[in-house]
Amino acid sequence: RYAGAQASTQDLNIDDTLKMLKMLDKSVKFKLNIEGRSIVRLLEAVARYQFPQHKICFDLLLESVGPKGVQQITSAYPDAVVQTHLGPHLSIQRNPVELKSQLKMAESWGVSRFALSYCQQGFRQTFIELSNNGFDLCIDGIHNRKKFIDAILLEPSSITGDFHTIMEN
């Protein structure tokens, strides 16, 4: 559903890609590990093509982008998905109160969805607990049909994986 566009701290030259995606009426997912002026340049490029906000996902590293970067994105695109990944150090088993507090803080900055790796230790328990607490979740790291079916049954907002690998297994 999403066509990926990788952004970096180098000069962003994505106009041709955005133009094509817009013409094809596709959604776009930006994987961001950038900050400051690079975010502004990306947002300006996206604005030129007037993507409907529901067709935009900003997938970011919170450590790189920070609260200010998230707020820049959500100010420009309040209805776009702003997603960040929960690393293996963040699980319900270790400290559920602290984890939920951190996620609430990220939501207050504008993060709207959290991605969990299917391969992460304690994945299922963490997913169920966070889902039951109202967090919007994505499952990533799906690499075979069994995991894909298991992931579907959990009813996340989205699932990401390598479909070439899934189809082979």
Query: For the whole model, what pTM was predicted?
Result: 0.81
If you average pLDDT over every residue of the chain, what do you get? 84
The answer on pLDDT for 89 being more than 80 is no
Read off the pLDDT of each residue in 139-154 and give the average, rounded to a whole number: 91
CA dihedral sign, ordered 18, 58, 9, 117:
negative
Residue 73 near residue 58 (C-beta atoms within 8 A): yes
Read off the pLDDT of each residue in 103-128 and give the average, rounded to a whole number: 92
The answer on pLDDT for 17 being more than 50 is yes
